[in-house]
Structure 1
Amino acid sequence: MADKIERDRTVPDEMMGWRLDQAAAELFSEFSRQRLKQWINEQALLCDGAPAKPKSKVQGGESLTINAELAPQGDWTPEAIELDIRFEDDSVLVINKPSGLVVHPAAGNYDGTLLNALIHHCPSLTQLPRAGIVHRLDKLTTGLMVVAKTLQAQTSLVEQLQEKTVTREYDAIVNGPMIAGGHVDQPIGRHPKDRKRQAVVSAGKPAVTHYRVQERFRGHTHVRCRLETGRTHQIRVHMAHVHHPLVGDPVYGGRLKQVAGASEVLKETLRGFNRQALHARRLSFDHPDHGEPVTIEAELPDDMQILLHHLRTDTEEYAS
């Protein structure tokens, strides 16, 4: 059964002359402007008990009433896929996504996705756009993702992402020894020749990635990246742009480069690392209900820990 949304607000006198949809967005800030406009058009949001148009002017003193149902937002199939849940309450859910798990159903991946797992775990998510998912990780990227469990929480988290107040930190292992940390401030958009790839292009959207060195090895570097923006493949594209592509990246990594004198164990580990070495390790946001900060961390997955161990061993043995 669909959840009922019932709210009642009075338009203050200082909003005289505002459009109805503007006043509603201010008074019902827990919902998105798009959703409120939809309810006005569906007559689920009334002004003094009567239907009105989004552009209608308010005079002050009117009673705005919402009486709406959250209907299913997609024809999704729940699936009993195990989730590594790191935080959960009535409003938000934080999961640690494994490599290989696609986030959204799409061509070639209609089932077996994170979305299918989420609606099995929490069936009410079918009533939210994208089942409450507010940001994505690539199929082969591991780590933390936050999911909204209510429409109000989803609106809040989307706004926090847009306002860049959500902190997202990633661990990455890149090719080549990096001298120091820094940042990449380069726009990202569709590759001009390969539509399945992203690239640094002048007509792209602004994108900023900050990075700092965690540990240096003979031919690789463990870096920690913080996203200021959230473009598709951003870290992968930016690191490749500064000539330090991620280890194992099947799209932006280029040909495998082995380090001279490396042990057979390290060579085999690098050959067998068939995904981008990228992990969303830390996620911080303000809780949508009470505004208190929430910070979750997830340890490196086994494959990245093993790779770091062999890189460290190689560097230490070469130095001795």
Structure 2
Amino acid sequence: MIVTPAWAGQRLDQILAQQFSAHSRSRLTRWIRDGHVRVDGAPARPSDRLREGQLIALCMPDPAPVVPLRPEPLALTVVHEDEALLILDKPPGLVVHPGAGNPSGTLQNALLHHLPALAHLPRAGLVHRLDKDTSGLMVVAKTLSSHTRLVSALQAREIRREYDAVVIGTPVAGGAVDAPLGRHPRDRLRITVREGGRASVTHYRIAERYAHHTRLALRLETGRTHQIRVHMAHLGYPVLGDPLYAGRLRLPAGIDPELAETLRRFRRQALHAARLGLVHPSEGREMHWEVPPPADMQALIETLRRGPVS
């Protein structure tokens, strides 16, 4: 394409982002740096300022599958599906992305079986992730343009994600945690609150009180790895059952035997992505979904309800 007078003086990456809106600016920038974009036949840089009459040539990379995984017929709980997106209710115990120790049996494998065309999208269309043992709502894009718009909306904090959690302890009131998060300097499996970490904000309110525990409703303002789990532990109210941040199980003195046994058997973090809200990427209308916790977390809550209240 030829640089018009209106484009003269603007950056190359800005113009490409305007003209190829189905692709994210970061993807276009990567293509420029990888040599897939030439200006007047020569390699270019994202920051190059354009001159009227220059010829921009974009040779898109071969659209080979970005996720070369084997499709697997794993069960999916589909809450909503249309031409642009898919909303899922992920069960606890399901790994989202393949990695060390989990080369198969992941949500991505299941998605590729459900819709093979997702192989041509980044991460099989997944817009965000949940930890293996966290359950609940996830959004998957079915087209490249939807993926670009939804990822942009997530980065702009325009997708509303709310969680239910059972925490150890009895906070007096709700509030917000504004504490930066980063990788633990010694334990690479853990995230910690640390100076110089990425800005991270979690809002929480009390949904239900029990004798020694509390059910919280939480809203993510940012979406960092382990954010809710680390922020709640930082406050002194770790998520019940959390193997990384709650420490070993300590049963309160005089606890009801039924509740004691329920707590011993609950071996994952009691965290559930319960509510999701977004603007549809192609229709522009607001949409909202809500799903109840899985059976094990519901049984935990019912047992806590039968005990005394703090």
Deviations 1:195-243 (A, max 9, x none): 1111111121111110000000110000001001111100000101111
- Pair 1:106 & 2:102 matched: no
Matched residue type, 2:251: Q
Match of 1:58 in 2: 50
Match of 1:235 in 2: 228
Match of 2:142 in 1: 149
Instruction: Normalising by structure 1, report the TM-score.
Output: 0.89
Q: CA deviation at 1:33?
A: 1.9
SS of structure 2 residue aligned to 1:158:
helix
CA distance in 1, matches of 2:29, 2:298: 49
CA distance in 2, matches of 1:34, 1:184: 30
- Pair 1:160 & 2:160 matched: no
Unaligned runs of 5+ residues in structure 2 are none
- In structure 1, which of residues 1, 9, 18 is the aligned counterpart of residue 10 of structure 2? 18
Check whether the contact 1:218–1:259 (CA below 8 A) recurs between aligned residues. no
Check whether the contact 1:281–1:298 (CA below 8 A) recurs between aligned residues. yes
SS of structure 1 residue aligned to 2:140:
strand
Q: CA deviation at 1:30?
A: 2.5
Matched residue type, 1:53: A
Match of 1:119 in 2: 112
CA distance in 2, matches of 1:257, 1:122: 45
Q: CA deviation at 1:41?
A: 6.7
Root mean square deviation of aligned Cα: 2.3
Deviations 1:260-281 (A, max 9, x none): 3322111100000000000000
- Pair 1:183 & 2:171 matched: no
Runs of 4+ in 1 over 6 A off after TM superposition: 41-48, 61-67
CA distance in 2, matches of 1:291, 1:216: 38
CA distance in 2, matches of 1:28, 1:22: 10
Unaligned runs of 5+ residues in structure 1 are 1-8
CA distance in 2, matches of 1:39, 1:208: 33
CA distance in 2, matches of 1:252, 1:169: 20
Q: CA deviation at 1:66?
A: 6.2
Alignment size in residue pairs: 308
Q: Which moved more, 1:287-296 or 1:214-223?
A: 287-296
Check whether the contact 2:84–2:146 (CA below 8 A) recurs between aligned residues. yes
SS of structure 1 residue aligned to 2:205:
strand
SS of structure 1 residue aligned to 2:6:
helix
CA distance in 1, matches of 2:63, 2:230: 38
Q: In percent, how many aligned pairs have the same letter?
A: 50
**Do the aligned partners of residues 254 and 20 (structure 1) sit closer, same or farther apart at CA in structure 2, a change above 3 Å counting?**
same
**Do the aligned partners of residues 63 and 88 (structure 1) sit closer, same or farther apart at CA in structure 2, a change above 3 Å counting?**
farther
- Pair 1:220 & 2:205 matched: no
